[in-house]
Structure 1
Amino acid sequence: MEEKLDFEERPENNERKRSLEYISKLIENARKLNKQDDLINLLEIQKLINRKKYGLVWEEHEEIVDHEMAKQIPVFTEDIKKKINGVKNDSHYNFLLVGDNLHSLHLLQKTHYERINVVYIDPPYNTGSKDFKYNDEYIDNNDRYVHSKWISFMYRRLKIAKQLLTHDGVMLISIDNNEYANLKLLMDQIFPNGYVTTIHVEMSTVQGMKVRSAKNGNIVKNAEYILVYSKDGHHNVMKHPLYNRTNYDRHYNQFLTKENNYYNCRPISEVLQKHQDITRQLEALGLVNKGHSLSNSKIGIYYDSSELVREFINKNADLVVRDHTSITIKNNVDYLEGKVYPYFNGKRKYLIQKNKDGIYTQKIPFSTKLGKSDDFKPEYGPLKIRGDWWKDFYLDMGNVNKEGGVKLSNGKKPLRLIKQLLKATSDKNDIILDFFAGSGTTGQAVEDLNKEDGGHRSFILATNNEGNIAEKITYKRMLNINDGYASHESTPINLKYLKTDHVDKNSDTLETDLLKYVKTLIELQHGIDFENSSFRIVTKRNQITRLDLKNVTSVYMRGRVHRMMIPFEQERYELANVKIIDIPEEFFGEELREWI
């Protein structure tokens, strides 16, 4: 009998077990001797040993903003001069939040907890070439913590962003191969079971300097990635699939002609043969020898090569069919063998044909394959649903610097790419957040998409103002699309420009100080502008009676003031059909001293 090896698959597990047992004895001894300092240190060591061993492990780093928020509470203040009021009779507003996006995300926790439908971000790729700053210093490849600083930076922001998503919300993140692996593990940790797919976007081709690199044996980089995650783990995030143009499917080679209550079915080549203009064009193209019959097996070649064939088939797409699967018939109609009949099952219509064995099969019309593609140059023709390979976006890169009327030297994404991501994953009334807004492409994508499909999506853009990017690029782009400068056609928008400020946590008048800023939070929460809406705000007792209730539907009121209303005042508001809403305590309450 073969001797069984004394083999441990995870020998380190025993080492860990022995270490924990030893630490437990030391902890017990420290408790007995009341050695508090030793006890605290030993418990910390025990915690470190117990820390999970699978997944992404990194050195955690603090940020300057962490220290700021330990002493100060971030607030929003509006730059009134930068308000864009492009849609005069619409009280709905979009928002540009300017400041460290960690501040903005913390404030959005108050106003948009579980309300964001889609988050798209294009964070710094951490290439080492001055694209990523940590604590006001650019990180290069010589920094021993080059990856852990980036991970720490992203982890804080992504954790909050998850809380902002609706239960079925979707997050889309652009990235390249510098941090793809780390970001994938990080997102798997934050969104357990939330991974949907990685979209590969063709952003360049092998040309120019890349040709030499490829000839030297390198595999050149042509694609970037978009990580796709859903909050609740559902995978069918493509609510509205995208389509690419494809070649003709030669199986669509039959043609229906109407006879009484059925159709005769014959090869489409016979039908095309009767059109002399079509046969002459095919002969001129060298696809058919003069005087010869058309081939049914070459219909795909004819369609892709001949404009006249395409016109005829597209025009008669409901009558051009292919064989499909068998179908069970539930009525007692005596269908003739070989004839094609319309058959209704509930609200669905089928085309069916009985064969010599009495089995019914379906006919699928070519019209189900036809439509306008989502390619760089949209075409009408046969389509295929796009998967995780998004080709030809390098074609957009030649014009990307001109999009929106603003230039961004590094990282500007094509408008078509962001618009198609949002077209696929959002519905018409969704809220879209981009907290690495950069050149503002996401804002324009939302507005262009609304214009195309009549939607009412809204956007929130968050960016810092390093190098005046918020003013000179992000905000400038919003002005451009509103005025029509960017595309020679205006897309009127309403936008409020909010900047982050701070209130000292140790202030003796903290609640009063914070109440000065609740207006902007309420406006952000509801996507409104108090000056152009039926909403009003009351924070002081004497404002209750002074407020003109004409054309007012809702009043946001400090809870303490609301409770002080006397019956006469309450009756006045009720008669005016005005709803009183208490301002949330988390907007201004004394408890914010302990916040964060």
Structure 2
Amino acid sequence: MALLQDLIKQIDDETLRQRIMMEVGKLTKQKKFGLVFEEHLPECTPLYDVEIRIDSKVALKTGQVSDIYIVRTIDGDKVICEHKIDHAQVEFALDELVAIAEFGEPIYPYLKPIDMVCNAPDSDLWHTLIEADNYHALQLLEYLYAGKVDCIYIDPPYNTGARDWKYNNDYVDGTDAYRHSKWLSFMEKRLRMAKKLLNPKDSVLIVTIDEKEYLHLGCLLEEIFTEARIQMITTVISAKGVVRTGQFSRVEEYIYILELGNSSVQPGIYNMLDDEIKKEPDRSIEWLGFRRRAPQAKRNSRPNQFYPVFVSNSDGRIISIGDVVKHGVDRNSIPVPEGCTALWPLSRDGDERLWSLVPEQARINFEKGYLRVNNWNSEKRTGTVYYLPSGTIDDIENGKAEIVGYNADGSVEAKYHSEGTTPPKRVWNMKTHNAETYGTNILNAIIGKRFDYPKSLYAVHDSLRFYVERKKDALIIDFFSGSGTTLHAVNLLNAEDGGHRRCIMVTNNEVSEAEAKVLMKQGIKPSDEEWEKLGIARYVTWPRTVCSIEGHDVNGNPLKGNYLGSNIPMADGFKTNAAYFKLGFLDKASIRIGRQFREMLPILWMKAGCFGPCPVLVDQKVPEYMVLPENRMAILNDNSCFKRFAEEVGNALEIETVYLVTDSDADYRSMSKGLNVKQTYQLYRDYLDNFRINSRR
């Protein structure tokens, strides 16, 4: 309905506009069911890199990007514009305006290198930070990594009403009647793009949220990810809580976990309900009761698992395993060896139940010392049969648990020398997840007080570890990266186990509303250097990334303390590298082919896997070809050089990805057959057309 109202406002005839609004008002009173939210006008895109010309669509840098004007004349730095809806003509200064693209109009992205940190020159692992509106970044990432991402972790705006996020470049607050529908519209577009990135055979989406939108978000996730297994974690982020007069104190947030394909949680040493290790080192193996406890485990359900276990009257040692007693045969009619007692799988009230194994397997396990009787009472001749489950037996036989002796009854005594794992629970109450102690305090120690409410480093670390612990080459994306906690956590995981996981972060470079007001009073506008340097990407995310990798704060002082759980000194930093890019947009009509190719190189580098430092082309001349072993990629621009190119590629065994620039599908197929590499891609000679977004190709 909001979209309809936005469109109605564009009707020039006031009488018709009012009549339609009246009819729409009647429609809004009809009852709706399910997750129904208002579609809004799609978000427009400011194009700061595109030159403003006659007939350009523009908006004020300090206004709503959806408030569109058409440029009619340009005289020096004075511009006469016509409003798109009411056609009123207004004069602006040229530097007050920015070119824009409406939804559906093609735009041509490129990645502009901003900075890099190299703390492991011998490593080919490079993380990336992309400064961008995340919707357009996701469109580009779809081209690069569709179906290849192992894990997406996001912490989206919680829509608290605190004017901390924007829709169409305008802050959304608690007084906005369409606050919830704008948030859902905003999230739906991005989640649908995220789904295209995830590997459908084995990947996970992790989304954090609080009470304001968790119900709506759950419905939205179920609607988009119909094939996923969805769970919701309740996680305590501050035990002292947020006091609310007359209400319960809030201590928790929520984490949605969406598992695709074969993805599954890996157990750890904590059950997450508390921070005590449940299976400490040098612990004894666990014996389980041999009688099955399930209510349906009755004698007639599995007749081959009802039989006697004969034990010595004197000490309760198992003497032998009897045969199956068929259903209908009275168990008391079974003869018992002299000096023995028959133990049966009976419940406390005397119901006939089942043992956990058939007699043949029970005899094998008994001979190996994996079956015994506990709590034997020689007077009453009662005791309980215990056994080792198959998992524990496997641990003994593969050396994970060591036999340290045998009991008098012949049963084994065995111990685990390392910590064991336990299934995590769906309520997390870990001290290390405290957002203030291990989020705010860690961040402030690195960059000072520049960002409110960062996640606990260890909360993100644990969330990721459950799914990428065994994927040491995992690709992880966070397109609401905020203060950069996700990359910090990925680097910590890699440092702990020698992993090679790669992280791509995406964040905009917005300043807070309060900062924006101060800057505008000073005549400073978006895209001005004074404005940009205070944006979140440049003032928070990237400084944290550089400092945590190099092991110092923003003033150059070594970081203090060790990372919890691993005792890795923070001052050691991490042996890794990261590149920082800004997503920009080019004017296809005015960009020469040489510059097109130069601006496309970072995108090709990312698609090839981000190996080694991103290559740079100094001049604007398009090379005949490039063979880049350090980056594991090669590019052929001139087909007449294919023979020489193929020979060099063949000699460079590191090359995995080859780009062949040709408009001919037949030429591409012919050339790709002559290359023994992991993957080849066809690129069109008009380079920007390869990466057109915002409209269908």
Q: TM-score surpassing 0.5? A: yes
Please report the TM-score for the alignment, with normalisation by the length of structure 1: 0.65
Moved more, 466-475 or 64-73: 64-73
**Counterpart check, 1:472 vs 2:539:** yes
Verify the 8 A CA contact 1:443 1:461 in the aligned structure 2. yes
Verify the 8 A CA contact 1:60 1:149 in the aligned structure 2. yes
Hey, what does 2:290 align to over in structure 1?
A: 325
Verify the 8 A CA contact 1:94 1:527 in the aligned structure 2. no
Aligned match for 1:409, one of 443, 448, 451: 451
Tell me the number of residue pairs that the alignment of Structure 1 and Structure 2 aligns.
463
Hey, what does 2:296 align to over in structure 1?
A: none
TM superposition shift of 1:465: 1.2
TM superposition shift of 1:501: 1.4
Hey, what does 1:149 align to over in structure 2?
A: 182
Verify the 8 A CA contact 1:246 1:383 in the aligned structure 2. no
Aligned match for 1:462, one of 506, 509, 515: 506
Hey, what does 2:695 align to over in structure 1?
A: 595
Please report the TM-score for the alignment, with normalisation by the length of structure 2: 0.57
Whole-Å separation in 2 of the counterparts to 1:520 and 1:545? 26
Whole-Å separation in 2 of the counterparts to 1:226 and 1:570? 45
Aligned in 2, Cα 1:359/1:118: closer, same or farther, shift over 3 Å? same
Verify the 8 A CA contact 1:110 1:587 in the aligned structure 2. no
Hey, what does 2:463 align to over in structure 1?
A: 421
Percent identity, aligned pairs only?
26
Aligned in 2, Cα 1:562/1:477: closer, same or farther, shift over 3 Å? farther
Whole-Å separation in 1 of the counterparts to 2:273 and 2:542? 39
Secondary structure at 1:161 match in 2: helix
Hey, what does 1:37 align to over in structure 2?
A: none
Verify the 8 A CA contact 1:463 1:470 in the aligned structure 2. yes
Hey, what does 2:439 align to over in structure 1?
A: 400
Hey, what does 1:555 align to over in structure 2?
A: 658
Hey, what does 1:225 align to over in structure 2?
A: 254
Whole-Å separation in 1 of the counterparts to 2:118 and 2:31? 52
Verify the 8 A CA contact 1:170 1:229 in the aligned structure 2. yes
Q: Going by fraction, where is helix more abundant, 1 or 2? A: 1
Aligned match for 1:496, one of 569, 572, 579: 579
Secondary structure at 2:38 match in 1: coil
Hey, what does 1:105 align to over in structure 2?
A: 138
The CA deviation string for residues 125-156 of structure 1, in whole angstroms up to 9 with x for no partner, is 11111211122221111111111111111111
Secondary structure at 1:130 match in 2: strand
Hey, what does 1:484 align to over in structure 2?
A: 551
Hey, what does 1:185 align to over in structure 2?
A: 219
TM superposition shift of 1:334: 10
Whole-Å separation in 1 of the counterparts to 2:495 and 2:193? 31
Hey, what does 2:491 align to over in structure 1?
A: 447
Aligned match for 2:387, one of 338, 356, 362: 362
Secondary structure at 2:187 match in 1: helix
TM superposition shift of 1:179: 1.2
The CA deviation string for residues 259-296 of structure 1, in whole angstroms up to 9 with x for no partner, is xxxxxxxxxxxxxxxxxxxxxxxxxxxxxxxxxxxxxx
Hey, what does 2:192 align to over in structure 1?
A: 159
Aligned in 2, Cα 1:344/1:97: closer, same or farther, shift over 3 Å? farther
Aligned match for 2:44, one of 64, 73, 80: 64
Hey, what does 2:680 align to over in structure 1?
A: 581
Whole-Å separation in 2 of the counterparts to 1:170 and 1:414? 20
Verify the 8 A CA contact 2:116 2:579 in the aligned structure 1. yes
Verify the 8 A CA contact 2:267 2:421 in the aligned structure 1. no
Matches within 5 A, 1:166-245: 166-167=199-200, 168-206=202-240, 210=243, 213=244, 217-232=246-261, 237-241=264-268, 243-244=270-271
Aligned in 2, Cα 1:99/1:316: closer, same or farther, shift over 3 Å? closer
1:526 counterpart letter in structure 2: A
TM superposition shift of 1:54: 4.5
**Counterpart check, 1:525 vs 2:552:** no
The CA deviation string for residues 472-517 of structure 1, in whole angstroms up to 9 with x for no partner, is 2211122112211252121121222222111346x38898775444
Hey, what does 1:125 align to over in structure 2?
A: 158
1:361 counterpart letter in structure 2: Y
Whole-Å separation in 1 of the counterparts to 2:457 and 2:318? 46
TM superposition shift of 1:61: 1.3
Hey, what does 2:474 align to over in structure 1?
A: 430
Aligned in 2, Cα 1:78/1:357: closer, same or farther, shift over 3 Å? same
2:576 counterpart letter in structure 1: I
Verify the 8 A CA contact 1:174 1:227 in the aligned structure 2. yes
Hey, what does 1:375 align to over in structure 2?
A: none
1:403 counterpart letter in structure 2: I
Whole-Å separation in 1 of the counterparts to 2:166 and 2:442? 26
Secondary structure at 1:385 match in 2: coil
Whole-Å separation in 2 of the counterparts to 1:539 and 1:56? 50
Whole-Å separation in 2 of the counterparts to 1:593 and 1:246? 45
2:289 counterpart letter in structure 1: H
Aligned in 2, Cα 1:201/1:359: closer, same or farther, shift over 3 Å? closer
TM superposition shift of 1:344: 9.8
1:228 counterpart letter in structure 2: I
**Counterpart check, 1:386 vs 2:411:** no
Hey, what does 1:73 align to over in structure 2?
A: 107
2:166 counterpart letter in structure 1: K
Verify the 8 A CA contact 2:235 2:253 in the aligned structure 1. yes
- Structure 1's unaligned 5+ residue stretches are 1-40, 250-303, 305-309, 372-379
2:265 counterpart letter in structure 1: M
Whole-Å separation in 1 of the counterparts to 2:478 and 2:141? 12
TM superposition shift of 1:76: 2.7
Whole-Å separation in 2 of the counterparts to 1:524 and 1:107? 11
Aligned in 2, Cα 1:52/1:396: closer, same or farther, shift over 3 Å? closer
2:583 counterpart letter in structure 1: T
Secondary structure at 1:200 match in 2: strand
Verify the 8 A CA contact 1:119 1:171 in the aligned structure 2. yes
Secondary structure at 2:541 match in 1: helix
Aligned in 2, Cα 1:350/1:432: closer, same or farther, shift over 3 Å? farther
TM superposition shift of 1:419: 0.5
Query: Which gives a bigger RCO, structure 1 or 2 (Cα 8 Å, sep 6+)?
Result: 1
- Structure 2's unaligned 5+ residue stretches are 1-19, 46-99, 293-303, 320-360, 402-417, 512-534, 553-558, 560-569, 616-629
Aligned in 2, Cα 1:71/1:381: closer, same or farther, shift over 3 Å? closer
Whole-Å separation in 2 of the counterparts to 1:461 and 1:112? 14
TM superposition shift of 1:526: 2.7
TM superposition shift of 1:590: 7.2
Secondary structure at 1:413 match in 2: coil
TM superposition shift of 1:409: 3.0
Secondary structure at 2:164 match in 1: coil
Whole-Å separation in 1 of the counterparts to 2:438 and 2:678? 50
1:172 counterpart letter in structure 2: I
Secondary structure at 1:138 match in 2: strand
Aligned in 2, Cα 1:453/1:140: closer, same or farther, shift over 3 Å? same
Verify the 8 A CA contact 1:503 1:513 in the aligned structure 2. no
The CA deviation string for residues 48-90 of structure 1, in whole angstroms up to 9 with x for no partner, is 99x99653111111212394453342423241x6123322223
Whole-Å separation in 1 of the counterparts to 2:641 and 2:489? 42
